[in-house]
Chain A
Amino acid sequence: MLRKRISWVIALLLVVSLLAAACSSKQTEPSATADPSSATSGSSSVQGGNLIVAIKDDPKTFNPIYAGDSMSLTLGNVLFAPLIRMNGDKKEFVLAESLTASDDLKTFTLKLREGLAWHDGQPLTADDVVFTFNSLLDEKQHSYFRGSFVFEGTPMQVTKVDESTVQFVLSAASAAFESSLVQIYPIPKHIFEGEADLEKSEKNYSPVGSGPFKFKEYRAGEYVIVERSDTYFSDKAKLDSITFRIAKDNSSAVLALQNGELNVLRIEPQNYNKVKESGKSEIALFPSGAVTTIVFNQNIDVMKKQEVRQAIVHALNKEELIQAGFTSTEFAEPASSIFSPGTLHLKTDLKSYEYDQNKAKELLKAAGAEGLKIRYAYFNASTPETNMALYLQQKLQEVGLQVELIPLDAAALNKKALNKDNTDYDMSFGGYNMGFEPDAYKVLYLGDAAYNFSHYKNAEFDQWWLQAAVETDEAKRAKLYEQIQDLSADEVTTYPIAYGKSILAVDKQFGGADEAGADAVTVFDDFTKIYKK
């Protein structure tokens, strides 16, 4: 009797639990359009198809003025359109038609295109742009981009001139204003007006944007589906829809790529060969704009000695270091400047430090730092950093230095790194991707900047940065940035190791990857160019 009861219970458990998993999961705002999988399958039509793109985790937000992580930025880029876009060094006007600057670089006038519309049909006008910037600048809304538009302590003024023209008035000249503007994707005023807290607003769960794709469905932990917006002002997308699938584990993701469960995946160097051999995907290798560096903590006395730093750098073979971290120099180019390739005013012939163990030992002796003990911190979940740290430890040991490795998780590392008085470790890795505008790098190199991980303070150095930010003469600007790069290479408080490359695998079923422009953060700049073969 009991046995029967128990076996019933068990059977019921099994069925119920599986059904629960299958039929559930709170969906956010499903819309009544066609099921993407019903798109033309395998035929040679260029229209249609669903692209499955892998993302590492759930996007933190669907609101672009709060987007900081790559998933949110990727989705923001697809659902929303920016005012201007930079493709390498080519400027492309998207929502904006033109941007004119005054001679003193303090007033900028932006003209929007005609006939722009949001996904819900409402027109996109200067009102929306003004609303976006005012929300950005509103302290209560704590947007992440506020700092970019505050000049010498004063937020800029945004005024509507007419239905399609907006004027920005800055309190100080800014040569880099345009590059700051590139980050901004307008949000709809008619949706968000009156919301007390834009970040927590429920309107974010069914985002209305102006981009080439509109929001369809979000299943937490699983995927986000967006579908083509036929009201997009420019070239409509060829794909019917894109599914951004959450794939947390890298190794399983690579397998899924080979299975066809994923179509686009950013892969690590160690998987390159395997994916290439499988022949299922085209692999795009492109500079990601990232710069990987070794940072010497200037809060530590011995690290203040230039000979010590130079000695350490001489003890490392840059090619081998890159090999250790990135498998081969194919996946990361040796770096010389603190600016990434493609940055304006990049200087290429800078002081370099050849691999020379004897020189290293000499310098250490001169500085009285033989047998020094070094604490080296790095991000424990990063394979490149782990492997480079190990290599470094071995190499430095060969010149008599003892390296203690300190792997830390993201939160811990972040906290220590951002602590201006940090003395918990002597050296660490640094990495950043700041884009083409050299002024953007100052947040990493100004003496008091939050992200100045080396805590290097030099008043003259700072002056050059600040001057270049407001310098209207392009030639003088160039000179200042060259000086900056020269001094950095000489002082070597931050030693650039490599310019990383992104490796993007795209299923051969899909074409147009070249035009779409692979991007290290948002996967592709322009998904409208992708089509199913």
Chain B
Amino acid sequence: MGNDAAREEKQLRKYLTRRLLQLIPMLLFISLVSFALIRLAPGDPVMSFVTPNMSPEDVERIRANMGLDQPLYQQYLYWLQNVVTGNFGYSLLNQRPVLDQIVERLPATIGLMGSSLALSLILGIGLGLISALYKNRWIDRVLSLLAYIGISLPGLWLAMILIYVFALKLNWLPSIGMRTIGVNSAWDVIKHGIMPCLVLSVGSIAVYMRYIRSSTISQLEEDYVQVQYAYGATKGKVLFRHVLRNVLLPVITILGLSLPEVITGAFIVESIFSWPGMGSLGINAVFGLDYPMIMGITMMSSFLLIVGNLLADALYGVVDPRIKAMR
């Protein structure tokens, strides 16, 4: 018995190491593909800096300053060289280091997306369990309907309605930004974050809720549960002692997959609420053809996706060694 477990652990470790090693070539490949795609797309970022007074030489000087006069492959190598030393270059739009700006915006985005994730999980799991326990009763039906509405609601629309009701008509909540000027309290930030968080969470809550519900229901019909019933356990006990674990495990996979979303943020929500996160940084970058910034954000998002997947797989294997982590 012990030997088996040890052997499986070794297999898991080998698998994980292999996946980690795959990370580097994958990232490299992604950077190449992204670079090519972005640079080959038509558009010229220098043009957004041209003012009427400039002569063609002035424009060329700006281009050279941005490093855009070099042949493409050289630009890529130069970028790669810098990245390896941790330098992601300077934004073409405001001349500040890309990495600094990304790091600056991270807390706002992580805060928003993190709370949205947490809210989705808490409400999603909670409501899903309730739905499953009271299957087909009125509360289940109501929650199900709400769930369908939740996943079908256009985010933009919900945002507009919320702003209209809570900010304009009722004046309970602020409508833009992350904080009130001059106020430095956490509660202030939370107040600003309520509406964006809600808009982001509605869809996920619904998704988790339905998933948990169907998963719980099917688990409750499994043999091992029936055995527990035979021993006289109540539905509730069975739920929390045995079923929950099996129901929640797959959630980990979903979580892992939603990691890049956490970072790139929901650009629509961030734009409407003027939330200073990665989403708006990304949009500005793409519209302004800010190549270094685009590369920076893409690399980070890719890195997180791969790591997220890896974590999900690893957690899956670790938490329940019965499940083969091998594909």
A-B interaction: yes
Point out the residues of chain A lying under 8 angstroms from B163, CB to CB: 252, 255
Contact between chains at B43 and A18 (CB < 8 Å): no
Q: Which of B249-292 contact A (CB under 8 A)?
A: 271-277, 280-281, 284, 287-289
Point out the residues of chain A lying under 8 angstroms from B42, CB to CB: 412, 415
Most chain A beta-carbon neighbours within 10 Å: one of B95, B179, B188, B190: B95
Total residue contacts A-B, CB cutoff 8 A? 221
Contact between chains at A411 and B65 (CB < 8 Å): no
Question: Is A25 interfacial (CB-CB < 8 Å)?
Answer: yes
Point out the residues of chain B lying under 8 angstroms from A449, CB to CB: 52
- A68 vs B280: C-alpha distance when bound (angstroms): 21
Point out the residues of chain A lying under 8 angstroms from B189, CB to CB: 18, 21-22
Contact between chains at B55 and A418 (CB < 8 Å): no
- A17 vs B196: C-alpha distance when bound (angstroms): 14
Question: Is A487 interfacial (CB-CB < 8 Å)?
Answer: no
Neighbour of B280 across the interface among A2, A11, A221, A409, CB < 8 A: A221
Q: Measured between C-beta atoms, what is the minimum distance from A82 to chain B in Å?
A: 16
Contact between chains at B181 and A243 (CB < 8 Å): yes
Contact between chains at A146 and B181 (CB < 8 Å): no
- A52 vs B177: C-alpha distance when bound (angstroms): 13
Q: Which of B199-245 contact A (CB under 8 A)?
A: 240, 244-245
Point out the residues of chain A lying under 8 angstroms from B47, CB to CB: 411, 414-415, 418
- A225 vs B183: C-alpha distance when bound (angstroms): 13
Contact between chains at B54 and A14 (CB < 8 Å): no
Neighbour of B114 across the interface among A14, A252, A440, CB < 8 A: A14
Contact between chains at B50 and A261 (CB < 8 Å): no
Question: Is B128 interfacial (CB-CB < 8 Å)?
Answer: no
Most chain A beta-carbon neighbours within 10 Å: one of B56, B103, B188, B189: B189
- A36 vs B184: C-alpha distance when bound (angstroms): 12
Interface string of B178-199 (1 = CB under 8 A from A): 1111110110111001000000
Contact between chains at B185 and A22 (CB < 8 Å): yes
Question: Is A99 interfacial (CB-CB < 8 Å)?
Answer: no
Neighbour of B244 across the interface among A2, A22, A66, A414, CB < 8 A: A2
- A204 vs B100: C-alpha distance when bound (angstroms): 15
Question: Is A220 interfacial (CB-CB < 8 Å)?
Answer: yes
The chain A residue sitting closest to B186, CB to CB, is A22
Most chain B beta-carbon neighbours within 10 Å: one of A22, A259, A449: A22
Q: Measured between C-beta atoms, what is the minimum distance from A520 to chain B in Å?
A: 16
- A262 vs B176: C-alpha distance when bound (angstroms): 10
Chain A interface size band reads 35 or more
Contact between chains at A23 and B186 (CB < 8 Å): yes
Q: Measured between C-beta atoms, what is the minimum distance from A224 to chain B in Å?
A: 11
Known: A58-B94, A253-B176. A21 touches B51 (CB 8 A): no
The B interface, classified by DSSP as helix, strand, loop or mixed, is helix
Contact between chains at B176 and A247 (CB < 8 Å): yes
Q: Which of A26-63 contact B (CB under 8 A)?
A: 26, 35-37, 50, 52, 57-61
Interface string of A488-499 (1 = CB under 8 A from B): 000000000000
Question: Is A370 interfacial (CB-CB < 8 Å)?
Answer: no
Q: Which of B112-139 contact A (CB under 8 A)?
A: 112-115, 117-119, 121-122
Contact between chains at B94 and A22 (CB < 8 Å): no
Contact between chains at A21 and B178 (CB < 8 Å): yes
Q: Which of A137-145, A284-292, A504-512 contacts B (4 or more CB under 8 A)?
A: A137-145
Contact between chains at B274 and A247 (CB < 8 Å): yes
Contact between chains at A261 and B111 (CB < 8 Å): no
Point out the residues of chain B lying under 8 angstroms from A451, CB to CB: 52
The chain A residue sitting closest to B92, CB to CB, is A60
Known: A411-B45, A415-B43. A443 touches B118 (CB 8 A): no
Q: Measured between C-beta atoms, what is the minimum distance from A236 to chain B in Å?
A: 21
Q: Measured between C-beta atoms, what is the minimum distance from A64 to chain B in Å?
A: 13
Question: Is B49 interfacial (CB-CB < 8 Å)?
Answer: yes
- A198 vs B106: C-alpha distance when bound (angstroms): 28
Contact between chains at B53 and A148 (CB < 8 Å): yes
The chain B residue sitting closest to A20, CB to CB, is B107
- A37 vs B101: C-alpha distance when bound (angstroms): 27
B residues within 8 Å of A by Cβ?
42-45, 47-59, 61-62, 65, 90, 93-96, 100-101, 103-105, 107-108, 110-115, 117-119, 121-122, 163, 167-168, 171, 174-183, 185-186, 188-190, 193, 240, 244-245, 248, 271-277, 280-281, 284, 287-289, 319
Apart from A22-B185, A256-B175, 12 more pairs, CB < 8 Å: A2-B245, A3-B245, A10-B122, A19-B186, A21-B108, A61-B94, A199-B65, A219-B276, A249-B272, A412-B43, A450-B50, A450-B52
Could you jot down 5 A-B contacts, CB within 8 Å? A17-B113, A20-B114, A144-B51, A243-B182, A418-B50
Among all A-B residue pairs, the 3 with the closest Cβ atoms: A221-B276, A21-B111, A17-B114
